[in-house]
Amino acid sequence: MAECLLIVDDEPSIREFLEIMLSHDGYEVRTAATGEEAIKLYRQHEPDLVLTDVKMPGMSGLDLLRQIHSIDPSVPVIAITAYASADDALRAVKEGAYDYVSKPFEIDDLRIIIRNALEMRRLRKENTDLRRCVDSGRRFGEIIGVSPAMEEIFTLIYRIAPSRANVLIIGESGTGKELIAKAIHANSPRKSYPFVAVNCSAIPESLLESELFGHMKGSFTGAVTDKRGLLETAHMGTVFLDEVGEIPVATQAKLLRFLQERELRRVGDTDQKTIDVRIIAATNKHLEREMELGNFREDLYYRLNVIRIRVPPLREREEDIPLLVDHFMRKFASEQGKRIVRVSSLAAQVLCNYHYPGNVRELENIVERCVTLEQSDQLTAENLPPKLIEVCRRSIPAYEIDIPPEGIDLNEALESMERKLIIRALDLAEGNRGRAAQLLGITLRSLRYRLVKLDMDQEDHHGDAAEAN
């Protein structure tokens, strides 16, 4: 999208000359004869740069500069001053003008000043957006994380979103590859156009070519009408090819041709259509190995792999787990009309100690289950899947026993170890005996018996040693 310039000058010849010259340079140009008219145009079009004469009847260029900067201080304003009018130039710069030119000005000099001012604005905006993302330290759209790996991905999204470059996202299933693709699209100039996601592994091989490229009526059995393909549907937008490694080799050849020519032909058609889309592909496969096996075309791989993003599995960014748990807890509590405001210490410890082979998607499903079953105002461990409790139970530290030369009293040693394990389990369970029994792999009745036997029934572990809720 062309950058917009607003030219303000009471001399028609200056306005017309600058409009022709700058339009020829590829800018979108708006012109105004007065400061009052310029303010109206500014509010309508929000230009990227303003070029204004300083001395005008009515509102002066300096007054216009002040008003524009009261709306948006980041917009560069270039002042046009009379020949050798140093005072006007100095006042304009003091008021916040980016630079000034004196009449009659050199065209090439003005072009350079405009180009530098716009570049400065782009850099400032990029830095502001990036700082906002880093300062929040939490999320980018629907992507959440504070780990260095995720911060690196956030930065990369900002850098590559404005470009046309194809992107290849690699990562295990459930890591959020589609969310990253959506974030790239949402921060790109294509954001007003369609984002079309295609799960290449979910479409039968015999139909994938038709789904991507479309078909003509009668081109094959069942083709009763003309149909646009998904690539054509996404014209001017973004196509996300999920599980791109599953595309059959024959269809890969046609996709490669499309990427090279930006033209496609529907199945059964003779006409070519020019389509402008950005391709973001994703896979959980090792495509280099697939190329060696002859399952994926090398030339297509290099067309897709212009920008590469590796999404780490959740086990490699453990510091993100608490944020994700909190996010999903609030999301599902809101959806289900529940007031769940926190996660219990035991539930948090169990959730943070699990390895998540299904990554963020698995964590989301676990939290949804807990919220659905929960009846209190906090997420408790009793509603976690049994496999997570088993992992936490195994994490209770074992106690090394040293047998001195004079020997030990076995019964006393066993009793001491039993006591320590029960105390540890009650600590983890915040005094809830039902959860402590789960962690120890025994029944609640057995735990009660052991507490009495060890004379621990009256001991205070986090207040009253509550029974299961």
Residue 89 has a pLDDT of 77
Q: Which fold has domain 400-469?
A: Arc Repressor Mutant, subunit A (1.10.10)
The predicted model scores a pTM of: 0.61
Q: Does position 414 have pLDDT exceeding 80, yes or no? A: no
Are 321 and 351 in contact, with CB atoms under 8 Å apart? yes
* Superfamily of domain 4-127 in the CATH hierarchy: Response regulator (3.40.50.2300)
pLDDT at 333 > cutoff 70: yes
pLDDT of 189 higher than 70: yes
Q: What is the location of CATH 1.10.10.60 in the chain?
A: 400-469
Q: Where in the chain do CATH 1.10.8.60 domains reside?
A: 316-395
Structure tokens that stand for 407 in this block: 């020997």
Residue (of 425, 428, 421) closest to 398 by Cα position: 421
Separation CA 113–CA 89 (nearest Å): 15
Which CATH code for domain 143-310? 3.40.50.300
Strand ranges inside 75-182, DSSP E: 77-81, 99-102, 139-140, 143-144, 167-170
Contact 164, 278 (CB under 8 A): yes
Q: Is 247:285 a contact under the CB 8 Å cutoff?
A: no
Backbone angles phi, psi at 228, to 5 degrees: -75, 140
Q: Which amino acid is at 377?
A: D
Range with the poorest average pLDDT among 107-116, 118-127, 330-339: 118-127
The correct answer on CATH 3.30.70.20 for the domain covering 316-395 is no
For the CA atoms of the chain, what is the radius of gyration? 33
Question: Among 310, 340, 312, which residue's Cα sits nearest to residue 325?
Answer: 340
For 287, the 3-state DSSP assignment is helix
Rounded CA gap, 116 and 364, in Å?
47
Q: What is the mean pLDDT of residues 6-17?
A: 93
Tell me how far apart the alpha carbons of residues 332 and 369 are, in angstroms, rounded to a whole number: 9
Could you tell me the CA-to-CA distances from 235 to 167, 192, 272, 275 in Å, in that order? 17, 11, 14, 6
Structure confidence at residue 423 as a pLDDT band (50, 70, 90):
confident
- The secondary structure of 194-262 as a DSSP string is -EEEEETTTS-HHHHHHHHHEE-TTSSTT--S-EE-HHHHTTTSEEEEETGGGS-HHHHHHHHHHHHHS
